[in-house]
């Protein structure tokens, strides 16, 4: 994931998806917006259900040349031919994931609001670090990541940064100068028209 001048969109799937409707919905969003990467962020540990969802989303994503990574399931990422993994345990699993998936895979890490965790993940070899939530969100333990953290990170550290969780057009406008990617999920899938909701956020940049 290259560092662009303007932040790119990193799409995050809902925790539960319907295989009869979500792939089409995802396709519409990908056709209507410039998306850098998708994270399959499904709840639960039912590997069969996750694998079916991953297959359906991978077809949609790869048909449009968009990378698809999966939340935490390193071995599934390998088995299903996905592009990498997003870890939510800061730096703890990064070296294992990198070893399993190889140098070309995308390995990213969610570090909450901790610059220390971010730096540890960077040293362990991640491709990006995600901080959040920025606004009201169920992400993490409720501690929000401040703009100062993103600003400091983008000025000091070379590892690309993702801002995610509780984004609003105001936050997007405010944070655009100091992040490489916006991780957008609930903000759009909870709306009747996800593409229009995404546009409202990206227009704020």
Does residue 1 belong to any structural domain of this protein?
Answer: no
pLDDT of residue 204: 94
Does residue 57 belong to any structural domain of this protein?
Answer: yes
Does residue 132 belong to any structural domain of this protein?
Answer: yes
The CA distance from 75 to 170, in Å, is 38
Q: How far is CA 17 from the centre of its chain?
A: 16
> How many CA atoms are closer than 13 Å to the CA of 86, on its beta-carbon side?
25
**What is the tally of structural domains in the chain?**
1
Does residue 3 belong to any structural domain of this protein?
Answer: no
Its pTM stands at 0.95
Does residue 2 belong to any structural domain of this protein?
Answer: no
Does residue 177 belong to any structural domain of this protein?
Answer: yes
Q: Enter the tokens of residue 115.
A: 């610059």
Going residue by residue through the chain, which has 205 residues, state the pLDDT in tens, using 9 for 90 and above: 554 479 999 999 999 999 999 999 999 999 999 999 999 999 999 999 999 999 999 999 999 999 999 999 999 999 999 999 999 999 999 999 999 999 999 999 999 999 999 999 999 999 999 999 998 877 777 789 999 999 999 999 999 999 999 999 999 999 999 999 999 999 999 999 999 999 999 999 9
Domain that holds residue 63: 8-203
CB atoms within 10 A of CB 192: 6
Angle between helices 115-124 and 94-101 (to 10 degrees): 30
The CATH code of the domain that includes 186 is 3.20.20.70
- The answer to whether 169 touches 202, Cβ cutoff 8 Å, is no
Structure-token match 């901080």, residue found = 131
pLDDT of residue 1: 53
Does residue 27 belong to any structural domain of this protein?
Answer: yes
pLDDT of residue 142: 73
């Amino acid at each position: 994931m290259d560092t662009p001048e303007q932040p790119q969109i990193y799409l995050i799937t809902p925790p539960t998806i319907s295989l009869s409707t979500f792939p089409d919905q995802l396709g519409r969003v990908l056709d209507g917006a410039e998306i850098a990467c998708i994270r399959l962020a499904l709840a639960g540990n039912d590997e069969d259900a996750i694998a079916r969802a991953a297959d359906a989303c991978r077809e949609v994503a790869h048909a449009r040349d968009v990378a698809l990574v999966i939340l935490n399931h390193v071995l599934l990422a390998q088995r299903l031919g996905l592009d990498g993994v997003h870890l939510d345990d800061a730096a703890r699993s990064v070296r294992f994931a990198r070893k399993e998936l190889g140098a070309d895979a995308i390995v990213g890490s969610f570090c909450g609001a901790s610059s220390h965790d971010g730096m540890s993940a960077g040293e362990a070899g991640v491709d990006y670090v995600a901080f959040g939530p920025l606004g009201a969100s169920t992400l993490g333990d409720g501690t929000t990541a401040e703009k100062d953290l993103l600003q400091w990170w983008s000025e000091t550290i070379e590892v690309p940064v993702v801002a995610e969780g509780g984004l609003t057009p105001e936050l997007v406008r405010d944070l655009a100068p100091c992040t490489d990617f916006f991780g957008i999920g609930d903000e759009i899938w909870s709306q009747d028209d996800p593409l229009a909701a995404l546009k409202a956020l990206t227009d704020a940049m």
